[in-house]
Amino acid sequence: MAQMEFIIEISLENKPAARDPIAETIKRDLLAKKGYTNVSKVRSGQYLRLILKANDEEDATKIVISMCNDLRLFNSVTQTLNIINVKKL
C-alpha cells in the first residue's frame, strides 16, 4: 500500500501546575495594562504543523508522537502534547 501525505497539527502546552512566565507576562503587561480585566487566566504553548507520509491517520499520529518524544520536542514533566488535527492531503 502506498503511503499518503497527512497534515498533523500539534499543540505543546504547559501543564496547569507548571509555571508559565510567558503567559504571566502577557496577562500582566498586555492584557491587564490595556484594560482587559475580564481575562482571568492565560496559558502559553507552541503550535506545530507537520506534513508527513504514513499508511493511515493512526500511523501518522503514532509517528508524530514517537518523533516528539525521540527528539525531545517537549518536556513531558512540564508540558502536554496534544494532537489537534490529522488530515489527509
Tell me which residues of the chain have a pLDDT lower than 50.
none
* pLDDT for res 39: 84
* pLDDT for res 32: 72
Domain range for residue 47? 4-88
* pLDDT for res 7: 97
> Could you say which DSSP state residue 34 is in?
G
Report CA 11 to chain centroid distance, whole Å.
1
> Could you say which DSSP state residue 56 is in?
S
pTM: 0.80
Q: Which three cell numbers stand for residue 2?
A: 502506498
CATH of the domain at 49: 3.30.1280.10
Give the alpha-carbon dihedral of 62, 68, 70, 74, to 10 degrees. -140
* pLDDT for res 1: 72
> Could you say which DSSP state residue 74 is in?
S
* pLDDT for res 2: 86
Give the alpha-carbon dihedral of 14, 15, 19, 21, to 10 degrees. 20
Contact 5, 59 (CB under 8 A): no
**Domain count for the chain:** 1
